Structure 1
Amino acid sequence: MTHFIKKTLITFGILSVILMANEASTTTETKNNVHNLAIYHTVTGDVQDTYNAMVEKKLKSIGFNLTDAHKRVNDQYEAKWGSTILDVLSFMPIVRDRTVIPLLNIDPRIAGFAPFNLVIHKKLDENVSYVGHLVPKVMLDILGIDNPEVRKKFSAPFKALDATIAQELGGDVRTIPYQALPKKTMINYEYEFDTPEDMDDFIDEFQNTFELAFINKGYLIAGYHSFMDATPDAEEILSEYDAFWTYSLCHLEFSYNMFDTEGARPEAGLFAPCTMYMYIRKGSNKLVVGMFRLHNWSATLNIKSQKRLDLINKLDTEIPSILEGLGMKSVPNVNPLLENKTSSTPSTKKQNVVSTEKVVAPIAATASVNKEKKETVQVSKPQVATENAKIEKIKVGNETVTIAIPKVPKAIKCNSTAYNAGNDRSIKFSKRVPPNYKPHSFDRAQKAKTSTHTRIGEVNNGKVSAYLRGKFMTVDAAKEKLKAAGFEIITTAPVNKKGDLISIVFTDKSLVTMASKANRGFIASLRLLVDTQEKTISITNPLYMAKGFLQNDFDETNANKILVRLLTHFTDLNNSKDSLKFQLLPKYQFMKGMPHFQDMVEVASGKNLLEKIKNNDKVVFSQTLDNGATLIGIKLSKRTRKFTKRIGRNNAAMLPYPILIENGKAKILDPKYYISFMYPLLTMSEFMTIATVPDAMVKDCEKVFK
């Protein structure tokens, strides 16, 4: 990347580059037909911490919001493929909803870069960090939007964006040039459906089918952004739409081979993840889909590696194929709102249909062939062996071709001789054991039979189960047993749409005492899940939870006492298969680069946080602790809580989602930590099927305080 920038980029003063790059949005062509593709802020050293803080907090002050953060993607590369040449690669998709949402009523295609990526990358052998984004003119040109109002309003906020980045990170500002876009920049589809009785149910079902179709082909649903929920007045502004959302698509193997490995092109991350928009107009039975083609990457970045071009061709072919497999039909890349107004008038404009054009690597020029010379080659007809062959005659033009198809030869029979057992000269050993000898396995089995110690919920072979599983009982029966064991019921709440997963939140004095220390409030209550569909119950293991959530304040004595009381009153419990190494629980993380317990996410701050959540129907319980802190549990949005369908319903006792309000701050356990801690058998591939859920959980928690 350093060599690439030194060769092709020109360094300007910070303000002049920002102004020139953004003013290019209003022009159609620059000198020598060279355009600005992207703005890069180049900073000496590793600046990812400053960059993360800027994207997560500072950009909010100028209206840009982070949708689905993907920090240190290179850690996933290293974990999956064992190596990486990158020191950091993070994708931070951002969007300015206040700007974009009104423009959707003029040209909905503007959603094709809402969000767009603010990428950071740095190679291991570099001492420079690169932070960049595509310039708005390129985005608009790729989308095919020529409306002056949309172009002007969409481009305007980028000056403030780049000024803020320059102020926060410093360094130099540079631009990447490009010559031209490909002829076909977009794929556009429509999906016609029968008008449903309940549009929300239809959308839920469609989204699940769509997401699984891509997941099953190795793609990641790396982001989800609903414009209808993006601002308090979004539904009012978008009153002509039933739904409008975008997906961020990613393919891990593709991205590894594009951004990493030999000859890596991490700057291609400017386009990643790919944004795909979808919407349904009110009164319509058509779902409209649009996304830019990956050919834009190779054309603008002059990618010549045949391996990478083949990958681009594969995805540019496969994505439309998946959409067509779902019953979608290709349509031209035009503004559908204008098309609807003029649909009665036949259009003579050439349609920009989905292209089957392939990206071709440059090939060396070869000597021209002299077409005038014709060399005659004498070809002798082959002798046709007709013996033991089937003869077929085929007429080709004016000639008849004779083909001899040989018969299959018979297998040769071997003379076999009967096996003579008397010739077996192998050495035989007798099995001898001392008198009254008993093998160790028998001894262990006998001890297990006579032992009365069940070890349910306790540490066994260094591991401890996350849950205590039991036979089904009704919610009322479970509550009575908890009360008999000396516990207080805080709330009973369904945690899925059907209401067949019910979480009973319970506590006692010892739990509150353990929780009444700084950042320890998450242990204040435990959960009992009643699954009326699978006819089971699950209780969070107090030993497992306390070891993880109390860190160095772990109180083993009280945790064991709580466990004994549960086992005494729930007599048919068993250890769950979900378990982790007991001593590793305080420092648990799903994988390298993922959050630990202490990496909590602040979702709100202020002196009146408790006032903000009063009479909020999303808050299903509130628990006051001895140190003045408050633990609340919230109901996640309908879309967010569907994650249990993907990774299993057994462990849904992690809900309602806990938020700790302490010292004027509302904090949550990072969802990437909390989900994996409560689903200890979760695999990376399973985690990828719910890639959008962690960020959605954060947003749901933030909304409670707005």
Structure 2
Amino acid sequence: MKLMAKFFAVVMLLTAGLMAADAAKHDVRVFVSDNADKKITPATIEEAFKGAGFIIAANNNMNAPFMRDFNETSFDVYNLAVVYRKDTALALAEQYPEIGLFTPMSMSIYTKKGDNTISVSSIAPHAMARIMGVPEDNEHIIAYGKKVEEALKAAMPNGKFITLPYEMKNEKHDFITRVAFEQDGDDWEESKDNYQMGFEGELAPHGFVMAGFTDLNYDFEENDKEWFYFYDVYSICKIAVIYEVAKLHPEAGAFAPCSAYMYQKRGEKTIHVAFPNVHKWIDALNITDKPSIDVLLDAQSRFEKILATIKK
């Protein structure tokens, strides 16, 4: 009986441990390192990612626009970086065309005012896979996650992943906003140019900036992969959103800039557009403060209006 009691006690402890691990399995992860000597910078982190085989689509200092637009910042350092790997895109794009939701992947690099640490936030591989419709045990996703860790450890040798001080909301939402347009006329290139010109022209009036642009199809065709007529990813940012949300959640840079893809498969006449919407921010980061939710929902509404406008 004593042996049986011990057995059940061990089982209960293991179960409790697995439940705790599941609760801590956030969609966003943050890597933190001491940086009292200020030797680790966004530039040195960028070099480490390049050394690990990543393409850097952007690495923007957000303190400049924060000061310009709001006359203050909560950070000594706040950069939004956008990175991707050609090999991962090539391996997944044909079977999983939604790779553009996180290809490129966004990161925030930050130090709060007066702190002696530097942090990098990014989307966790399991979350990236789930949102893009790729199995979490896919070898290319696993390899991608390991390369991210390799780059972070090279840039921040004494760093480690921390446990975020909240649980995800796990609410029931469609976290991807998708729309589709039928090709206008018989010329796909002309149709693409018209849609993209309309899309880009609507960004600034609604307060968005294009932080980066990635032509994934260039890499595909360079490797003789003619799956698409075009596959473009826009890295879109609304400065007012990241300024407000980052006050309490600087790790929000894992979703900002937002990757909005636009592609058309060869032989088809449908243009697909999609992006991870703000409900994913609210859910993954457990955002509860009204100022953050207000700016996020406003941005969502404005982006949907842009898509509705160019669809006409």
TM-score per shorter chain, which class? 0.7 to 0.9
Q: Which residue of the partner structure matches residue 59 of structure 1?
A: 49
Q: Which residue of the partner structure matches residue 253 of structure 1?
A: 240
> 2:154 aligned with 1:170, yes or no?
no
Please identify which structure carries the higher helix content. Answer: 2
> 1:577-616 alignment to 2 at 5 Å?
none
**What is the rounded CA distance, in whole Å, between the counterparts of 1:307 and 1:265 in structure 2?**
12
After superposition, the C-alpha distances for 1:494-530 in whole angstroms (9 at most, x for unaligned) are: xxxxxxxxxxxxxxxxxxxxxxxxxxxxxxxxxxxxx
Query: CA 1:131–1:147 in 2, change beyond 3 Å: closer, same or farther?
Result: closer
Q: Secondary structure at the match of 2:311?
A: coil
Q: Which residue of the partner structure matches residue 116 of structure 2?
A: 127
1:277–1:290: 8 Å Cα contact kept in structure 2? yes
169, 183, 201: which one pairs with 1:212? 201
2:208–2:239: 8 Å Cα contact kept in structure 1? yes
**What is the rounded CA distance, in whole Å, between the counterparts of 2:178 and 2:206 in structure 1?**
20
Q: Secondary structure at the match of 2:126?
A: helix
> 2:256 aligned with 1:272, yes or no?
yes
**What is the rounded CA distance, in whole Å, between the counterparts of 2:193 and 2:64 in structure 1?**
32
After superposition, the C-alpha distances for 1:114-168 in whole angstroms (9 at most, x for unaligned) are: 011232111113221112312111122233x14467x331231221321332233
Task: Provide the alpha-carbon RMSD of the alignment.
Answer: 2.3
Query: CA 1:284–1:227 in 2, change beyond 3 Å: closer, same or farther?
Result: same
After superposition, the C-alpha distances for 1:68-121 in whole angstroms (9 at most, x for unaligned) are: 221x20121112221112111001111011111231100101210001123211
**By how many angstroms is 1:320 displaced?**
1.8
> 2:300 aligned with 1:316, yes or no?
yes
Q: Which residue of the partner structure matches residue 31 of structure 1?
A: 19
56, 68, 72: which one pairs with 2:58? 68
> 1:528-567 alignment to 2 at 5 Å?
none
294, 308, 318: which one pairs with 2:278? 294
69, 76, 96: which one pairs with 2:85? 96
2:177–2:274: 8 Å Cα contact kept in structure 1? yes
Q: Which residue of the partner structure matches residue 113 of structure 1?
A: 102
Q: Which residue of the partner structure matches residue 351 of structure 1?
A: none
**What is the rounded CA distance, in whole Å, between the counterparts of 1:47 and 1:313 in structure 2?**
39
**By how many angstroms is 1:231 displaced?**
6.3
Structure 2: unaligned runs, 5 residues or longer: 1-17
Q: Secondary structure at the match of 1:68?
A: strand
1:119–1:132: 8 Å Cα contact kept in structure 2? yes
Q: Secondary structure at the match of 1:87?
A: strand
Aligned-partner residue type, residue 52 of structure 2: I
Aligned-partner residue type, residue 247 of structure 1: Y
Identity across matched positions, percent: 21
304, 308, 324: which one pairs with 2:288? 304
2:237–2:258: 8 Å Cα contact kept in structure 1? yes
**By how many angstroms is 1:188 displaced?**
0.9
2:179–2:272: 8 Å Cα contact kept in structure 1? yes
Query: CA 1:232–1:282 in 2, change beyond 3 Å: closer, same or farther?
Result: closer
> 2:174 aligned with 1:187, yes or no?
no
**What is the rounded CA distance, in whole Å, between the counterparts of 2:221 and 2:41 in structure 1?**
28
**By how many angstroms is 1:50 displaced?**
3.6
Q: Which residue of the partner structure matches residue 311 of structure 2?
A: 327
**What is the rounded CA distance, in whole Å, between the counterparts of 2:211 and 2:76 in structure 1?**
21
Q: Which residue of the partner structure matches residue 242 of structure 1?
A: 229
**By how many angstroms is 1:286 displaced?**
1.1
Aligned-partner residue type, residue 72 of structure 2: S
Aligned-partner residue type, residue 105 of structure 2: F
Query: CA 1:281–1:47 in 2, change beyond 3 Å: closer, same or farther?
Result: farther
> 2:139 aligned with 1:155, yes or no?
no
TM-score, normalising length: structure 2: 0.84
**What is the rounded CA distance, in whole Å, between the counterparts of 1:268 and 1:47 in structure 2?**
26
* Equivalenced residues, count: 290
**What is the rounded CA distance, in whole Å, between the counterparts of 1:47 and 1:280 in structure 2?**
49
Q: Which residue of the partner structure matches residue 282 of structure 1?
A: 266
Query: CA 1:182–1:49 in 2, change beyond 3 Å: closer, same or farther?
Result: farther
Structure of greater Rg = 1
Aligned-partner residue type, residue 315 of structure 1: A
1:87–1:121: 8 Å Cα contact kept in structure 2? yes
**By how many angstroms is 1:271 displaced?**
1.3
Q: Secondary structure at the match of 1:63?
A: coil
TM-score, normalising length: structure 1: 0.39
**What is the rounded CA distance, in whole Å, between the counterparts of 1:43 and 1:119 in structure 2?**
14
Query: CA 1:185–1:80 in 2, change beyond 3 Å: closer, same or farther?
Result: same
Structure 1: unaligned runs, 5 residues or longer: 1-29, 329-706
**What is the rounded CA distance, in whole Å, between the counterparts of 2:170 and 2:261 in structure 1?**
21
Q: Secondary structure at the match of 1:196?
A: coil
Query: CA 1:101–1:168 in 2, change beyond 3 Å: closer, same or farther?
Result: same
Q: Which residue of the partner structure matches residue 501 of structure 1?
A: none
> 1:351-370 alignment to 2 at 5 Å?
none
Aligned-partner residue type, residue 77 of structure 1: F
After superposition, the C-alpha distances for 1:442-487 in whole angstroms (9 at most, x for unaligned) are: xxxxxxxxxxxxxxxxxxxxxxxxxxxxxxxxxxxxxxxxxxxxxx
> 2:122 aligned with 1:138, yes or no?
no
**By how many angstroms is 1:240 displaced?**
2.3
1:91–1:118: 8 Å Cα contact kept in structure 2? yes
After superposition, the C-alpha distances for 1:546-584 in whole angstroms (9 at most, x for unaligned) are: xxxxxxxxxxxxxxxxxxxxxxxxxxxxxxxxxxxxxxx
Q: Secondary structure at the match of 2:206?
A: coil
**By how many angstroms is 1:58 displaced?**
3.2
1:39–1:174: 8 Å Cα contact kept in structure 2? yes
Query: CA 1:159–1:303 in 2, change beyond 3 Å: closer, same or farther?
Result: same
Greater relative contact order, per chain length (Cα 8 Å cut-off, separation 6+): 2
**By how many angstroms is 1:55 displaced?**
4.2
